[in-house]
Structure 1
């Protein structure tokens, strides 16, 4: 066994340094690799002849002012292949400008000029390394082109409206937020004023910028420069790039590289290949590579990645190093888990769980090994879906329970205590129509949340996609509306602390094995102290469902969820999507389309066929009027979810009563005049006739 190990190590060692030369590209020695302050210009970037760079997108022009990416005309500050300080690979730091409001005399790029556009290029704005910032007070700014997500923030002139504990750029004359993981290639914004003096707003300069995280934090006390903004672009090699397929194929049988392959398909995740992995799909979209562990260099060049230790004669040292490496790796993995556990607030969670105020059993702390085993190491075949907050995998625990495991995108280090408190609160949610949080794992770079698994998909699928297994009749729509309303009412008024969901939509309403509705995805939910009526937060939600009042004021209240539920009711009534390009511009929003139809007494022209087929006209009008009240632009005029639940239940009872009266046959009175009683077992109700 030991001899076989030695032979294997020797074989791998020889392969490593024998085959590492079989690399894809040979770059000319005459190529210039520096320009001004840019001390390294690695392939696929290059200056000079066509052989010095991969294609025109990577061509750099060097002049007296600096190095510029010729095709997109952006000045280069730094190029990275094997990772920058924060760990992201294949990036280029470029010089950009802030976006300014359409005011005369403002510096930067005007939002009316289209912003910064790199569409069609192999570059995207890095969501990992950049931060979105808006400067100026009474400024409500949202990014363009991030549908269906609303990405933006709002700043105030009144310091009393801001929670200073939120830290950097938290809302007083400045606000910030993270970027969505959407491959953003257009940076432009929509400026709006939250002040009453719109003329003053139009006269003053307002700014929004996308900047490198570290650069943004260096201006903690402001003000931000507007003409010089360093921004990080991530880049890939696309399959339309010259020789890209040949380059990937040449990586086969090499041990010195790691590549991330991005397949075609909007919702497919990238996968890694390394060492002897051979699977490269013919229809791949793009890829990016780095040197593997123990190697350094440029994976895109003929010299490839070279081993840090190259002494073939030191085989015994190699064997010792191999065993040492395994031991050190195991120790490092333990240390890394401990580091992530602390970073993700694990110590704080343990303290909360063991405090006298909380039940120790409310949240289970899962280990990495448990969840990796449950998901086959997070195999992409286990993915249930992706959203703005993370990716959800299907898994099976060791006790046989099927669960949904959510891998969060990120956790704001400045709000760890709030994140942990939310886990504590959400784990205590105990309602049959809300998805139960079973536990979490904090040993990974980003937290993993474990929920009960709901098997029958989302309400959105049954409303807007072909589904013959479970047609949504009027009865079923009313029941689902009642169940969702009841769960929201519980969150708002019956939970230990009021909880505002903040992202109620039909894709966040799941149906279980009995087709009962369950509210899911509490990743953006917020708890509120009982004595408070609202919470000032960065705006978050989904177009079509987002409360306009919350968007304007940044004040999240229980009525924000009521508005979103009103859109759900409109969906159930009409079968229409919340946003549709098929409708006219002023009616793209279902909420607007629905209210205008009711005002014109044309409600029954827009109803779904199932509703018109099975619904009672009186019931439909009751629910439609309820939806209209929920969609009132003034939150104070909207009903509470408690009242909404009562009204829907009354409509359901009325329908059941009418239905039973219709199916009861005339009874025969006996000679004593006793009343005949009929039992409808389907509804388990007794009615006297």
Structure 2
């Protein structure tokens, strides 16, 4: 046989396999009944030459085949006719002529189909693919890592570390992690300080309530705003609270109610943007003794009247009417002009005229809550009246609900106030001094009004309109009295001055008449 023609026809045969062939039958025969078989026959051992007849040995047949009589380079050059699929490679048969296909290492299947060679999961066949640690399959291969405390190639074998070496390694890992965390924290702290974080930490958060936190912000045009960020147990509850407050504040437009400027829906948590009220809460000015805003009765009376105006607007003039639900001194803000602004509508509800709300849960702040609402769950406009009565008592006494007496015992502010009023000891518990008898009368009138607001039965309390009208009347009388007093004092000072001038002119008539006259005219 020659290299160019491995099968010469002597002792072998060669034929092509036509396309679409499903089976092949062949038969062997011999002219001399297998008596003259050449020694080069690779399939029949010389000692076991086949016999003719039924006792003849079976023969072994080897079919050598190729896809096409081309080299791999020639086959790959024509991609449309190239027979090997993905994850398969071109290979040569033993004869050296033509090419065949074989799945790449780590793959198995039919290499002649486009996706015929599939990845072998070596981890599922540990007998063929040994692993002495943790096995992880990869595309075309697998990884084997030694277990903790061991080292080496997991595919070959792992060796154990000494106990001291193991402990040392674990400690080194822990120390490295701690050092990394410390460096990261220091970097964050440094960035926080460099970006004014300490100032923001103490000044940017304005307050926090049951429904969210309020932060101070600045818009692009340097307008300061208060941003309410809602919070909730879940997303649905948070969205419900946001939509409820949005529905309430969008109905409100009053000079003594904090204005809604806008909202943000593109953030993860919904935000409401309110006007920023710069002068703090009424609670702060009542209980911070360094504040001088409430030193005069006129300011206290004016602020009380402005709060009542806002609540009356919510109950009577808003469409539909609104119950605030959480009236307290913390929710009353004061602007640069010390004008009162009612804020925080997280507990507010919209109602139809004269309708009572049956609450599914009690909301508000203890100490300000209507006791009737607490017992029955019925929220009405008179519930706001009770809460406003508590604010009036705070304004009058300067004390907090459930404050301590001089002996250190806890006492109920409302009961203490009503007891003092009924025993004619009101002026002993006040937080201010009346300037004159007229102010004393006004303070007593406001105290009686507060007592009416604090009636345990809602039906016996005045409406917010009645409260507002009474306070407005007292405020107007106070302003007229103040104006009259100023006018009388001015007249008195002018008359005294004229008398002094006349006396001066008479005494120095001869020497200083011209000079004195000129002085009086200038002054």
Q: In the superposition, relative to structure 1, how do residues 391 and 425 fare at CA in structure 2: closer, same or farther (>3 Å)? A: closer
Instruction: Tell me how far apart the structure 1 counterparts of residues 380 and 403 of structure 2 sit (CA, whole Å).
Output: 27
Instruction: Tell me how far apart the structure 1 counterparts of residues 445 and 296 of structure 2 sit (CA, whole Å).
Output: 17
Deviations 1:409-452 (A, max 9, x none): 22772695675254133123100000011222233343211100
Which residue is equivalent to 1:394?
216
C-alpha RMSD of matched pairs (Å): 3.5
Secondary structure at the aligned position of 1:616 is classed as helix
Secondary structure at the aligned position of 1:609 is classed as coil
- Could you tell me which of 287, 292, 297 is aligned with 1:474? 297
Q: In the superposition, relative to structure 1, how do residues 539 and 399 fare at CA in structure 2: closer, same or farther (>3 Å)? A: same
Deviations 1:198-224 (A, max 9, x none): xxxxxxxxxxxxxxxxxxxxxxxxxxx
Q: Is the 8 A contact 2:248 2:345 kept in 1?
A: no
Which residue is equivalent to 1:277?
188
- Could you tell me which of 387, 393, 402 is aligned with 1:579? 402
1:450 aligns with 2:273: yes
Which residue is equivalent to 1:484?
307
Instruction: Tell me how far apart the structure 2 counterparts of residues 480 and 438 of structure 1 sit (CA, whole Å).
Output: 24
1:253 aligns with 2:183: yes
- Could you tell me which of 259, 276, 280 is aligned with 1:436? 259
Q: Is the 8 A contact 1:408 1:446 kept in 2?
A: yes
- Could you tell me which of 441, 447, 457 is aligned with 1:624? 447
Q: In the superposition, relative to structure 1, how do residues 610 and 531 fare at CA in structure 2: closer, same or farther (>3 Å)? A: closer
Instruction: Tell me how far apart the structure 1 counterparts of residues 394 and 251 of structure 2 sit (CA, whole Å).
Output: 30
Alignment of 1:35-54 (within 5 A): none
Q: Is the 8 A contact 2:297 2:432 kept in 1?
A: no
Q: In the superposition, relative to structure 1, how do residues 469 and 437 fare at CA in structure 2: closer, same or farther (>3 Å)? A: same
Which residue is equivalent to 1:515?
338
Q: Is the 8 A contact 2:403 2:412 kept in 1?
A: yes
Q: For structure 2, which runs of at least 5 residues remain unmatched after alignment?
A: 1-147, 150-174, 493-523
| 1:248 Cα offset (Å) | 6.5
Greater mean deviation of Cα atoms: 649-658 or 576-585: 576-585
Give 1 or 2: higher helix fraction: 2
Instruction: Tell me how far apart the structure 1 counterparts of residues 425 and 438 of structure 2 sit (CA, whole Å).
Output: 16
- Could you tell me which of 431, 435, 447 is aligned with 1:608? 431
Which residue is equivalent to 2:422?
599
Which residue is equivalent to 2:137?
none
Q: In the superposition, relative to structure 1, how do residues 644 and 471 fare at CA in structure 2: closer, same or farther (>3 Å)? A: closer
Instruction: Tell me how far apart the structure 1 counterparts of residues 470 and 392 of structure 2 sit (CA, whole Å).
Output: 13
Secondary structure at the aligned position of 2:183 is classed as coil
Q: Is the 8 A contact 1:474 1:614 kept in 2?
A: no
Instruction: Tell me how far apart the structure 1 counterparts of residues 227 and 210 of structure 2 sit (CA, whole Å).
Output: 15
| 1:406 Cα offset (Å) | 1.1
Deviations 1:254-275 (A, max 9, x none): 6xxxxxxxxxxxxxxxxxx59x
Instruction: Tell me how far apart the structure 2 counterparts of residues 424 and 592 of structure 1 sit (CA, whole Å).
Output: 37
Kindly indicate whether structure 1 or structure 2 has the higher relative contact order, using CA contacts under 8 Å at least 6 residues apart: 1
| 1:543 Cα offset (Å) | 2.0
1:654 aligns with 2:477: yes
Q: For structure 1, which runs of at least 5 residues remain unmatched after alignment?
A: 1-27, 30-244, 255-272, 282-374, 669-689
1:409 aligns with 2:231: yes
Q: In the superposition, relative to structure 1, how do residues 531 and 601 fare at CA in structure 2: closer, same or farther (>3 Å)? A: closer
Q: In the superposition, relative to structure 1, how do residues 417 and 460 fare at CA in structure 2: closer, same or farther (>3 Å)? A: closer
- Could you tell me which of 318, 331, 339 is aligned with 1:495? 318
Q: Is the 8 A contact 1:562 1:638 kept in 2?
A: yes
Instruction: Tell me how far apart the structure 1 counterparts of residues 209 and 238 of structure 2 sit (CA, whole Å).
Output: 21
Q: Is the 8 A contact 1:570 1:591 kept in 2?
A: yes
Q: In the superposition, relative to structure 1, how do residues 252 and 415 fare at CA in structure 2: closer, same or farther (>3 Å)? A: closer
1:385 aligns with 2:200: no
Alignment of 1:298-447 (within 5 A): 381-410=203-232, 413=236, 416=239, 419-447=242-270
Q: TM-score, normalised by structure 2?
A: 0.54
| 1:381 Cα offset (Å) | 4.7
Which residue is equivalent to 1:633?
456
Instruction: Tell me how far apart the structure 1 counterparts of residues 432 and 241 of structure 2 sit (CA, whole Å).
Output: 45
Instruction: Tell me how far apart the structure 2 counterparts of residues 579 and 606 of structure 1 sit (CA, whole Å).
Output: 15
| 1:615 Cα offset (Å) | 6.7
Q: In the superposition, relative to structure 1, how do residues 655 and 499 fare at CA in structure 2: closer, same or farther (>3 Å)? A: same
Count residues with an aligned counterpart: 314
Q: Decide which structure has the larger Cα Rg and report it.
A: 2
Q: In the superposition, relative to structure 1, how do residues 612 and 564 fare at CA in structure 2: closer, same or farther (>3 Å)? A: farther
Q: TM-score, normalised by structure 1?
A: 0.42
Secondary structure at the aligned position of 1:251 is classed as helix
